[in-house]
Amino acid sequence: MSDIGEITDIEHGEGGGQRFTETEHENLGDRLQSSCAGICIGFLLFFGAFPLLYWNEGRAVERYEALNEAEAQVTTVFDPWNISVANEGKLVHFSVNITNGDSNNGGPTDPIFGISSPDALQLHRQAEMYQWVETKSTSTTKTYGGGKKTTTTYSYSKQWEDYLVNSYNFRRNNRGQYDNPSSMEFTPETFTATSIKIGAFDLPQSLINRINWAEEMYVTLDNITNVELRERTESYDGGYYIQSSFDSIVSNSNIDYNYNDVTTSSSSQGDGGAQIGDQRVFFQQTPPSIIHCRSSKW
């Protein structure tokens, strides 16, 4: 039976954290049992794959035939602004400008920062938070008597991530040394114009979800309409840097360790002055463009 031993090594790692290893020993009997189970599952997957393959090939043929039929029946429309009754119910193809149909109302707007882009189709807020991240690596070696030794190394470093890293799931938290905030004040979000036009028609939501182009948008502190937010925000690389109070809360707790191994300084000095919980926010906008459409409703 497998036996997980104690922590075998602890050392200082990069990014202000530590690295430690755990070793698991597995004897020959455990290995044979695992191998037999794997063989049985392999046989089941092998024979079960044939009906799935047949079903998938049939769907591929049906799709190919449907596409060929549609190509033979497609009608090209040269003026997408002209609604023709003759094309009602037909499969049509056209090229058209995709535009913000409600640019007079300010366009998509971030309600927190007050950033807007009047002519854009979409406004994208990109947000990152400085957090502890756990990295896991595993290596396996054979031992005398047909056994196996598995060594797992866990390391901890501070990184910028655009999602919340749950430090409660870390293998080793060292009495809260690697705690992350429980939430992100600013998260990535996309704001879409209330009306997006393709010619004389509104772009359906199914196609809005497929918009996949964007360009960087430079913002300044003057663009922030929230006065309280503006006062605690710094300009940073075309976007914003917001310092967190999370580190000061941790340092005032009863935990006895040196939490911050970097010197507190201005965000302009890069990661060397970043603290856990600090955030960076950038913006992108999706400008109008020309798209090619096929539709059966005209």
pLDDT at 297: 55
pLDDT at 56: 77
- In angstroms, the CA 164 to CA 79 distance is 48
CB neighbours of 23 closer than 8 A, spacing ≥ 6?
4, 5, 8, 149, 150, 151, 152
- In angstroms, the CA 112 to CA 160 distance is 21
Over residues 143-166, the pLDDT tens digits come to: 776 677 888 888 999 999 999 999
Strand bridging mode 92-100 / 196-198: antiparallel
| The two structure tokens encoding residue 240 | 């914003």
| The two structure tokens encoding residue 68 | 């060929």
Q: Name the most confidently modeled range: 28-37, 101-110, 243-252.
A: 101-110
pLDDT at 241: 97
Identify each DSSP E strand in the chain by its residue range. 3-12, 16-26, 75-76, 92-100, 122-142, 148-161, 189-192, 196-198, 201-202, 215-217, 233-236, 239-242, 279-286, 289-295
pLDDT at 7: 46
Over residues 14-60, the pLDDT tens digits come to: 555 677 787 776 655 555 566 666 677 776 777 667 777 777 777 77
Per the model's pLDDT, the better-predicted residue between 183 and 266 turns out to be: 183
| The two structure tokens encoding residue 241 | 């840097």
Per the model's pLDDT, the better-predicted residue between 234 and 15 turns out to be: 234
pLDDT at 143: 73
pTM: 0.69
- In angstroms, the CA 95 to CA 198 distance is 9
Tell me the average pLDDT across 285-297: 76
Q: How many CA atoms lie within 13 A of 223 on its CB side?
A: 19
- In angstroms, the CA 168 to CA 132 distance is 11
In the block, tokens 């340092």 appear at 251
Angstrom CA distances, 89 to 20, 45, 63, 75, 118, stand at: 66, 45, 20, 11, 34
Helix %, strand %, coil % for the chain, to 5? 25, 35, 40
Does 238 have pLDDT greater than 70? yes
pLDDT, mean over the chain: 77
Q: b or e along 12-33 (b: 16 or more beta carbons within 10 Å of the residue's beta carbon)?
A: ebeebbbbbbbeeebeeeeeee
pLDDT at 1: 44
Does 97 have pLDDT greater than 70? yes
Over residues 186-221, the pLDDT tens digits come to: 999 999 999 998 877 788 888 889 899 999 999 999
CB atoms under 10 Å from CB of 178, counted, come to 23
Tell me the average pLDDT across 69-83: 59
